[in-house]
Amino acid sequence: MRRLLSIAAAVAALVAGAPAVSAQTRADAAYTQFDLPNGLHVILHEDHTVPLVTVNVWYHVGSAHEKPGRTGFAHLFEHLMFMGSKHAPYGDFDRLLEAAGGTNNASTAEDRTNYYIDVPSNALDLALFLESDRMGWLLDAMSPKTVDAQRDVVKNERRQSYENAPYGMASIEIAQMLYPKGHPYSWPTIGSMDDLSAASYEDVVQFFRTFYQPANASLVVAGDIDPRQAKAAVETWFSDVPAGTAHVGPIDYPHPDLREVKKKTIQDRVQLPRLYLTWITPAHFAPGDAELDVLSLLLAGGKNSRLYKRLVYDLQIAQDVAALQASKTLNSEYQIVVTARPDTSIDQIRSIVDEEIRKIQQAPPSEREFRRAVNQIESSFYDRMERVGDYGGVADQMNSYYYATGNPAYFTEDLARYRALSPEDVTAAASKFLPLARRVELVVEPSK
């Protein structure tokens, strides 16, 4: 369905006090979308601020789709996507893009894998050629040797970001405590060293055929484009990408239920102890999700936020405080993280955090406190519209919205979720979704 929407204008009109009239005079952001016969969904968005285009692909597969014994495979596969394809042998991808002044990257999460190529607008065809070639003909250039090479790189990524990083193993421990064995979110996206060692060339073939078919992906081309020419270019380069054979459905898994407090203490080579409290919470865009985003700002967004003010500002027993609703497809995770100052007891910190959670569960925040949080969220929507490419740019967000809601321009509806809330809604969500008696508590303490 073709739709016209000015993103900036639509959001501006929603933000309290913003001069909607002047914003509406700049209706310069719009999108159109279509499907290719092979099933690839395509979204085009025009923005001529700088002469760059971005080619952003989401494959609707992530670590949650992995098989037991092959954890880390979706991410390893992401690395293999840069190792050459039939018509662009190993080395061409990065060499050709850099020679055209482009940059590229990719990332893997539980639910999705995203890729972007940002190039000056004269190199759009080059970007589409490379992106389509690996979507269609990756396996023609793949060999067991290629898999070995990236296996070593990924193992070093694990060493650097987990094993050798302070507190690096905490997220892996928490996922294991939070979910029953076998739950798709129970293992880390980086995978275990053993499973990375076990990944084989045959796994690569199987994974590509299952998950990297065009019908399981969506493509956003955005920036300094002429939409008519861009549509023709996409059709040129992606129409002959072979369609897949089997439909890939969304993951289904029973909602995990925490019935108690699960506690664990691990040691790490760190100076300051740290407390992690984690709950299983409503999925992205489900009722409660937006409320918990607002709660995060009430608890840990700025000097006046409740946990920051008490622990870091007034009592000065904590070095930092964070609160985050990590929104995902099956369910989300809500996490509060506090790093203690030297010689502070984690028990004291935990009891103050609990006191503050109880308070927000019992009485709604004041109008000003609540508005302060919502105003911060509203203006963050402006910031998210400034960059088109890269991670988190407009193109990446359109793919994210399309995957989650079917509407690539869900910006307006997304913001409307927050504007519809009342202080009482936040209190209700805190009561319902952050029970003190059902959560995971991990403490990382300095090893002696």
Considering only residues 43 to 62 of the shown chain, the ones binding other proteins according to CB under 8 A are 44, 46-52
Q: Which is nearer to other proteins, 164 or 265 (CB)?
A: 164
Cβ of residue 307: shortest distance to other proteins, in angstroms?
14
CA distance 99 to 386: 26
| 304 forms part of the interface with other proteins (CB under 8 A) | yes
* Residues of span 270-289 touching other proteins by CB under 8 A: 270-272
| 152 forms part of the interface with other proteins (CB under 8 A) | yes
The dihedral over CA atoms of 328, 282, 375, 401, expressed in degrees to the nearest 10, equals: 40
Tokens found for residue 365: 């925040």
| 251 forms part of the interface with other proteins (CB under 8 A) | no
Cβ of residue 170: shortest distance to other proteins, in angstroms?
10
Cβ of residue 5: shortest distance to other proteins, in angstroms?
10
Three-state DSSP at 317 gives coil
| 248 forms part of the interface with other proteins (CB under 8 A) | no
> What DSSP string describes 334-372?
EEEEEEEPTT--HHHHHHHHHHHHHHHHHSPPPHHHHHH
| 379 forms part of the interface with other proteins (CB under 8 A) | yes
| Pairing assessment for the beta strands 41-46 and 217-223 based on DSSP bridges | parallel
Q: Which is nearer to other proteins, 139 or 428 (CB)?
A: 139
- In the block, tokens 């409660």 appear at 288
Question: Who contacts 230 (Cβ-Cβ below 8 Å, separation ≥6)?
Answer: 44, 53, 124, 221
CA distance 398 to 299: 29
Three-state DSSP at 331 gives coil
CA distance 226 to 231: 9
| 333 forms part of the interface with other proteins (CB under 8 A) | yes
Cβ of residue 353: shortest distance to other proteins, in angstroms?
19
| 396 forms part of the interface with other proteins (CB under 8 A) | no
Cβ of residue 249: shortest distance to other proteins, in angstroms?
23
Are the C-beta atoms of 263 and 444 separated by less than 8 Å?
Answer: no
CA distance 290 to 315: 30
* Residues of span 70-89 touching other proteins by CB under 8 A: 75, 78-79, 82, 86-88
Tokens found for residue 250: 């969304």
Q: By CB neighbour count within 10 A (0-12 exposed, 13-18 middle, 19+ buried), where does 70 fall? A: buried
Between the alpha carbon of residue 246 and those of residues 37, 39, 62, 228, the distances in Å are: 15, 12, 18, 32
* Residues of span 209-238 touching other proteins by CB under 8 A: 224, 227-228, 231, 235-237
Q: Considering only residues 67, 69, 144, 161, which one is a binding residue for other proteins as defined by CB under 8 A?
A: 161
| 416 forms part of the interface with other proteins (CB under 8 A) | no
Q: Which is nearer to other proteins, 56 or 171 (CB)?
A: 171
- In the block, tokens 């739950």 appear at 183
By CB under 8 A, the count of residues binding other proteins is 127
Q: Which is nearer to other proteins, 252 or 383 (CB)?
A: 383
Question: Who contacts 447 (Cβ-Cβ below 8 Å, separation ≥6)?
Answer: 267, 268, 269
**Adjacent-strand bridge partners of 262:** 440
Q: For residue 184, which phi and psi values (nearest 5 degrees)?
A: -60, -20
Cβ of residue 161: shortest distance to other proteins, in angstroms?
7
| 296 forms part of the interface with other proteins (CB under 8 A) | no
| 417 forms part of the interface with other proteins (CB under 8 A) | no
CA distance 412 to 397: 12
| 348 forms part of the interface with other proteins (CB under 8 A) | no
Residue 355, amino acid:
E
Q: Considering only residues 145, 260, 383, 420, which one is a binding residue for other proteins as defined by CB under 8 A?
A: 383
| 160 forms part of the interface with other proteins (CB under 8 A) | yes
Segment contacting other proteins (CB under 8 A): 120-128, 194-202, 350-358, 359-367?
120-128
Q: Considering only residues 14, 94, 173, 251, which one is a binding residue for other proteins as defined by CB under 8 A?
A: 94
Q: Considering only residues 145, 181, 259, 303, which one is a binding residue for other proteins as defined by CB under 8 A?
A: 303
Cβ of residue 381: shortest distance to other proteins, in angstroms?
9
Cβ of residue 12: shortest distance to other proteins, in angstroms?
5
Are the C-beta atoms of 321 and 307 separated by less than 8 Å?
Answer: yes
| 184 forms part of the interface with other proteins (CB under 8 A) | no
Which helix (H) or strand (E) segment holds residue 232: the answer is: helix 227-238
| 419 forms part of the interface with other proteins (CB under 8 A) | no
Cβ of residue 252: shortest distance to other proteins, in angstroms?
21
Q: Which is nearer to other proteins, 4 or 286 (CB)?
A: 4
Question: Who contacts 420 (Cβ-Cβ below 8 Å, separation ≥6)?
Answer: none
Which helix (H) or strand (E) segment holds residue 179: the answer is: none
| 23 forms part of the interface with other proteins (CB under 8 A) | yes
| 346 forms part of the interface with other proteins (CB under 8 A) | no
| 385 forms part of the interface with other proteins (CB under 8 A) | yes
Are the C-beta atoms of 374 and 290 separated by less than 8 Å?
Answer: no
Select from 162, 139, 270, 267 the least CA-distant residue to 213: 139
Q: Considering only residues 140, 202, 240, 354, which one is a binding residue for other proteins as defined by CB under 8 A?
A: 240
